[in-house]
């Protein structure tokens, strides 16, 4: 069976999931909801089919499972968002259309994605610009103390979602050039391999960038995500664990320093360590969110309370669970579908990550390898940062759960990420076959 036919077949589970999900909601709220909910489902399936056709005609050799896995995640997200707020689901569905258009555009205009290498510095500057945009007065938006959003008129978006792709492209291009020098120029000092001083500079720049993010954007999670992706790429490029260790050490020192000096970061860490402290719980922007996240999960238990049964808003108005459609969507999923449902979701992510790394391993040239590995790593880290935040593994931060959380920038950016992975995959698999 050809890769594309396998992809088409693999879309069946996604369509079943979607139909079942909407049917459940429909049955449950038949008094309030109309057949519109089922129309949503049909329209969404048509979109998946359109995406499939784009791939079929442009990237016939690309990995057959990535798109269906994304479709499963997206369907899952859409149903959950629909259950939280009908209006948001409608918007999310619109963003899917935009995302798919950008997905198709990326594939069509970047047929030879390796041209990106040539624009690495342009891309890098664009990436940094995007990351720092939320601090520009007038358009920057502060949410929960972190600067992650930008609002221009009625449109608001999270530039970091696009920034992460730009940074990975730059790092992949930069490390492809310097990896040999980094490996060969290294010296061993006291049994520790350290990179040549000449190339230490750029690494310090990246580290500095992460620290700037921490201070300016004030978000531990996203700086962890970016710096983590950088270390992952550095490791893949050089196969030197010592570089990663040094990098992690530097990050830890920097994070500790800023955590103890920047009030907001300090607050985030306090609320993370002791979410049930009465004073922290009552403080605005305190531990209320993480505490409620944990309560919601406890409420879910092993099998969850059932679809549409979770308590999200207070009787008489007001939210119990703040930001259920974005930051805390994982808590809603655990609440309704339990540990079992959450494991299923994480498994889908893990399968996608597996396809991403597989693509990286199949790719022939260094840039493709680094690009695929980097994009996959940043994707996996994003999942870890938000789910880890919601489950109190690390301090909670405001990044989205890719393809599941509500959010236009997130959906669109992740579709671009998917397009890039499929581009690398198509080329790698074609070359591997030849």
Partner 1 sequence: MNAPVLRLYVLVIVLFAILVGFTSRWTVFDADSLRDNELNRRALLQEQKIRRGAIRTQDGEALARSVPRPGDTWGRRYPTADLFAHAVGYSFTTIGRAGIERSHNDELTGQTDELTGVLDSLLGKDDRGDAVVTTLRTRAQEEAVAALEQSGHKGALVALDTKTGGVLAMASVPSYDPNTIDDPRRFAELNRDTENAPLVNRATQNGYPPGSTMKVVTAAAALDTGRYRPDSQVSGENGKPISGVPLNNFGSEDFGDVDLTFALTNSINTVWAEVGEKLGGRTMQRYMERFGFYAEPPLDYPDAQMSASGVRKKGELVPVTDPSVDVGRVAIGQGDLFATPLQMASVAQTIANGGVRLKPHFMSRVIDPDGRTVEEAEPEEAERVVSRETAAQLADMMRQVVREGTGTAAALEGVEVAGKTGTAELNLEGLNQPWFMGFAGDVAVAVTLERFQGGTGGIVAAPIARRVLQSLGQ
Q: Which residues bind partner 1 (CB under 8 A)?
A: 24, 27-31, 232, 235-237, 239, 276, 278, 281, 291, 294-302, 306, 309, 311, 314-317, 320, 334, 338-339, 342-343, 346, 349-350, 353-354, 357, 360-361, 366, 369-370, 373, 377, 380, 383-384, 387-388, 391-393
In angstroms, give the least distance from the CB of 406 to partner 1: 21
Angle between the 408-433 and 329-362 helix axes, to the nearest 10 degrees?
20
Q: Return the number of the residue (28 or 141) whose C-beta is nearest partner 1.
A: 28
Contact criterion met (CB below 8 Å) for 248 and 192: no
CB distance 276 to 288 below 8 Å? no
Smallest gap from residue 238 Cβ to partner 1 (A):
8
Burial class (CB in 10 A: 0-12, 13-18, 19+), 47: middle
| CA distances (Å), origin 18, targets 1, 29, 80 | 25, 16, 10
Least distance from partner 1 to the Cβ atom of residue 244, Å: 10
Q: Closest distance between partner 1 and the C-beta of residue 294, in Å?
A: 5
Neighbours of 87 (CB within 10 A): 10
Question: Nearer to partner 1 by C-beta: 149 or 388?
Answer: 388
Place of tokens 């080329």: 427
Nearest residue (CB) to partner 1, 92 versus 293: 293
Minimum CB–partner distance for residue 83 and partner 1 (Å): 13
Nearer to partner 1 by C-beta: 292 or 409?
Answer: 292
* CA-based nearest residue to 66, from 434, 431, 420: 420
- Residue 412 has which token pair? 């669109």
Give the single-character DSSP code of 154.
Answer: T
Nearer to partner 1, 10 or 337 (CB): 337
- Residue 365 tokens read as 């040239």
If the CB atoms of residues 29 and 56 are measured against partner 1, the closer one turns out to be 29
CB of 376 to partner 1, least distance (A): 8
Residues 6 or more apart whose Cβ sits within 8 Å of residue 432? 362, 364
Cα R_g (the chain), whole angstroms: 22
Nearest Cα neighbor of 164 from 140, 206, 113, 130 is 130
Bridge partners, residue 147, by sequence: 142
Residue 48 or 375: the one with the smaller Cβ distance to partner 1 is: 375
The DSSP output letter for 323 is S
Closer CB to partner 1, 88 or 353, in the complex:
353
For residue 137, count other CB atoms closer than 10 A to its CB. 5
CA triple 358-383-67, angle to 5 deg: 50
The CA distance from 69 to 132, in Å, is: 32
- The C-alpha atoms of residue 425 and residue 362 are separated, in whole angstroms, by 8
CB of 34 to partner 1, least distance (A): 14
Instruction: Find the shortest distance in angstroms from Cβ 368 to partner 1.
Output: 11
CB of 285 to partner 1, least distance (A): 16
Residue among 166 and 296 whose Cβ is closer to partner 1: 296
């Amino acid at each position: 069976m050809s890769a594309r036919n396998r992809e088409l077949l693999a879309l069946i589970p996604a369509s079943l999931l979607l139909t079942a999900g909407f049917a459940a909601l429909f049955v449950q709220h038949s008094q309030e909801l109309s057949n519109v909910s089922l129309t949503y489902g049909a329209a969404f399936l048509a979109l998946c089919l359109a995406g499939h056709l784009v791939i079929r005609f442009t990237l016939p050799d690309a990995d057959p499972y990535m798109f269906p896995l994304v479709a499963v995640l997206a369907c899952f997200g859409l149903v959950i968002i629909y259950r939280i707020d009908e209006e948001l689901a409608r918007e999310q569905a619109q963003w899917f259309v935009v995302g798919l258009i950008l997905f198709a555009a990326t594939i069509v205009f970047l047929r030879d994605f390796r041209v990106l290498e040539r624009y690495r510095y342009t891309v890098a500057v664009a990436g940094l610009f995007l990351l720092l945009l939320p601090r520009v007065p007038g358009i920057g938006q502060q949410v929960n103390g972190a600067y992650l959003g930008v609002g221009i008129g009625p449109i608001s978006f999270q530039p970091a979602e696009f920034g992460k792709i730009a940074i990975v492209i730059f790092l992949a291009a930069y490390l492809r050039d310097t990896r040999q020098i980094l490996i060969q120029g290294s010296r061993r000092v006291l049994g520790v391999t350290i990179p040549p001083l000449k190339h230490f500079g750029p690494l310090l720049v990246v580290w500095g960038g992460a620290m700037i993010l921490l201070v300016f954007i004030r978000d531990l999670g996203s700086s962890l995500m970016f710096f983590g992706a950088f270390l992952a790429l550095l490791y893949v490029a050089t196969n030197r664990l010592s570089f990663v260790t040094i990098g992690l050490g530097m990050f830890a020192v920097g994070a500790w320093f800023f955590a103890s000096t920047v009030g907001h970061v300090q607050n985030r860490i306090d609320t993370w360590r002791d979410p049930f402290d009465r004073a922290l719980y009552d403080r605005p922007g305190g531990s209320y969110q993480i505490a409620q996240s944990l309560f919601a999960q406890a409420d879910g238990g092993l099998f969850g309370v059932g679809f549409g049964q979770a308590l999200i808003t207070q009787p008489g108005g007001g939210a119990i669970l703040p930001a259920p459609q974005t930051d805390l969507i994982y808590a809603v999923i655990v609440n309704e579908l339990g540990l079992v449902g959450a494991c299923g979701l994480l498994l889908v992510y893990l399968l996608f990550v597996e396809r991403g790394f597989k693509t990286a391993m199949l790719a022939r040239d260094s840039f493709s390898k680094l690009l695929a590995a980097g994009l996959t790593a940043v994707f996996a880290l994003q999942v870890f940062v938000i789910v880890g935040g919601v489950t109190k593994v690390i301090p909670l931060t405001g990044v989205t759960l890719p393809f599941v959380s509500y959010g236009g920038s997130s959906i669109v950016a992740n579709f671009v990420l998917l397009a890039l992975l499929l581009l690398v995959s198509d080329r790698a698999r074609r070359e591997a076959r030849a």
